[in-house]
Chain A
Amino acid sequence: MTETVPDTVLECRNLSRRFDVGGMWRGQARSLRAVDDVSVSVRRGEILAIVGESGCGKTTMSRMVLGLLEPTDGSIVIEGQPLAEIDRMRMSRSLQPVFQDPYSSLNPRHTVAQIIGMPLDVHRIGTSAERKARVRDMMKEVGLPGRFAHTYPGQLSGGQRQRVAIARALAVNPRILICDEPTSALDVSVQAQILNLLLDLRERLGLTYIFISHDLSVVQFVADRVAVMYMGRIVEAGETAEVTRRPRHPYTQALMRAVLTPEPGLGLPDLQLQAGFADPFNPPPGCHFHPRCAQAMERCRVEAPIRLHDDHGDVECHLYGNGGQRKL
């Protein structure tokens, strides 16, 4: 995943972000590696999912990609240009976010038309009439009836609000959407509507998505490729079909087992996880996952695994490769 493919639209190179906490008045200064040496690339028209549980660094990743947070180390390259060299206005025309909570991400005092038109105003795109037409088009694009133009978010359902958020993101005609848990606040029947919409839009508009989620069943359905994060590191990555059919990292295996498919009679799965818990401020030596790993060996407790890259994808685990062969 590290080599640059010609149609790569977004690339993170050895991206890290550290947060320093405390130390000012009381308590010891501690530092948290929210994202730790992450390299990943996204190809044009692709949906790359970043999966992991809370605190694994997936949202920190998305905030860095959106330019909302400076990386401590490493770089982000968007369409061939380092993010650090692109000015905010230009960047936001190629990259737009869709956030998790459509209740807090829309201004309650603006009408739907104002919300969707705001990016056009900010970017001074078109005349007033053109902007109005664009807002109408966008509403149609996301399946919002025109009569909603002058309603307020408070009058809309969760699914309708998320449609507004998507229309707003699309207004400036971006090429990449960063969707951070776009459906986890929604009911399942509405989740299906929004996932279908995102898939349709990708096809119609040739969009590229970074899709952040904790739900592997959703990821399995929408994503072309998936990167699994644990404590700031990508522990496994590859084609979704490959990773979900044959998960290699014990953490990915546990995540797959934790998907509760609606099959009565199966009972609850055995995740094969140990009770261990790692303090993110003081990650365990060796592989960060070893306190929870049922397959941990002596080596896992002392030596950090190196990323193995082969035909099946990437994995960072001592169980694979001839004793963790170094390969980049």
Chain B
Amino acid sequence: MSVSPLLAVEDLSVRIPLAAGELNAVSNVSFSVMRGETLCFVGESGCGKTMTSLAVLRLLPKAARFSAKRVLFEDRDVTAANERGMARLRGKRIGMIFQDPMTSMNPVYTIGNQLEEVYLRHMPGSRRQARERAEYLLSRVGIMSPRLRLAQYPHELSGGLRQRMMIAMALICEPTLIIADEPTTALDVTVQVQILQLLVSLQREFGAALILITHSLGVVARVADRVAVMYGGRIVETGPTEAIFAQPRHPYTHGLLACLPSGQQHDRHARLQAIPGTVPSLIGETRGCEFRSRCPQARAGCAADIPVSTAEDGHLYRCVLPPGAIPPPQSAIRAGAA
């Protein structure tokens, strides 16, 4: 493992001052991504997965306070980079794809204009070269008659086509890292699969690393090399996808897997294993495991700072439970109502 990671983030925190106190949106998150690798951030709304990605891109809301021990991108420390330095990276070295393509495109410019703008801003070349490049990328993302599409406005396209557009825009400067935040959540189920297929195949072709943010464990299982499970602003468990799905070591990961209805045959009396309660407030000083109020196995030690442990298979987790305390996530159906 002498190869240095493409992106290495150490002790990243995001705090947002609110009237009620300070919101600890992201707390001491560390992770890295290798070239060509796919890392998925998974968690429920408010867990900090989007804030983490925005912090890397330095696109946080104005009020948010960002701190990190180190953010290394392509072996350069960008922790203290200014806005101009970051703007040079965004769109060029780091491509971005957001959940809702309609709000992340400018409705008054044609698709061609918007694609070319990204290219012209970062690459040396004429408008004609930009147009050719835009046309090429549209055909690469499976858009038929690209020349026609370039002249259209975002509202004239369907959701699936718009998301293809976003992918084309993210790839136009051949970035080494793509950050995609819930790129398929707003789409129909069949279109979701097609867009993921496209994203993964282009990522391979361009040799880019992919950070994919999603709430769907199904998506994670099918595309991620490694996964980071987030809860309450922290990474509670991270490692190779297969290892974590085979034997989660954090009760939250186990709960997420167990509460999925997928693959269960219909039975009138079966119930799902729901995680009781709701996400805790992240306002003010937080200590200990954020999940302990919902955890079926919470104990006294959970209120103290939780150290990071390493499982036998090498994945990292933040939980005090001994090995073997969490069953493998198979027995998903709880028979009868409680």
- CA of A187 to CA of B261, assembled, Å: 13
Residues A188 and B215 in contact, CB atoms below 8 Å apart: yes
Q: Of the 9-residue stretches B127-135, B265-273, B302-310, which lies at the interface with chain A?
A: B265-273
Residues B242 and A264 in contact, CB atoms below 8 Å apart: yes
CB distance from B208 to the nearest CB of A (A): 18
- CA of A189 to CA of B279, assembled, Å: 10
CB distance from A236 to the nearest CB of B (A): 15
A interface size (C-beta, 8 A):
51
Residues B278 and A190 in contact, CB atoms below 8 Å apart: yes
CB distance from B85 to the nearest CB of A (A): 36
Residues B256 and A241 in contact, CB atoms below 8 Å apart: no
- CA of A261 to CA of B242, assembled, Å: 14
Q: Does A6 interact with chain B (Cβ within 8 Å)?
A: no
CB distance from B82 to the nearest CB of A (A): 37
Contacts of A222 in B (CB 8 A): 261, 266
Residues B263 and A224 in contact, CB atoms below 8 Å apart: no
CB distance from B162 to the nearest CB of A (A): 14
- Counting chain A CB atoms within 10 Å of each CB, the highest count among B193, B241, B337 belongs to B193
Contacts of A277 in B (CB 8 A): 158
Residues B279 and A221 in contact, CB atoms below 8 Å apart: no
Given B260, B263, B276, which contacts A193 in the complex, CB threshold below 8 Å? B276
Given known A-B contacts A221-B270, A275-B142, A259 and B337 have beta carbons under 8 A apart: no
Contacts of B158 in A (CB 8 A): 277
- CA of A190 to CA of B44, assembled, Å: 10
- CA of A157 to CA of B218, assembled, Å: 24
Given B221, B224, B266, which contacts A240 in the complex, CB threshold below 8 Å? B266
Residues A187 and B264 in contact, CB atoms below 8 Å apart: no
Q: Of the 9-residue stretches B61-69, B92-100, B184-192, which lies at the interface with chain A?
A: B184-192
- Interface 1/0 per residue, A141-160 and B, CB below 8 Å: 00000000000000001111
Contacts of B274 in A (CB 8 A): 189-190, 192-193, 196
Q: Does B137 interact with chain A (Cβ within 8 Å)?
A: no
- CA of A193 to CA of B258, assembled, Å: 12
Contacts of A268 in B (CB 8 A): 193, 196-197, 200, 222-223
Given known A-B contacts A187-B44, A268-B196, A195 and B190 have beta carbons under 8 A apart: no
CB distance from A68 to the nearest CB of B (A): 24
Given known A-B contacts A157-B279, A268-B222, A215 and B189 have beta carbons under 8 A apart: yes
Q: Which of A242-285 contact B (CB under 8 A)?
A: 244-245, 254-255, 257-269, 271, 273, 275, 277
Which A residues fall within an 8 A CB radius of B? Answer: 53-54, 157-160, 187-193, 195-196, 199-200, 203, 214-218, 220-224, 240-241, 244-245, 254-255, 257-269, 271, 273, 275, 277
Nearest 5 Cβ contacts at the A-B interface: A260-B218, A221-B261, A192-B274, A217-B262, A192-B259
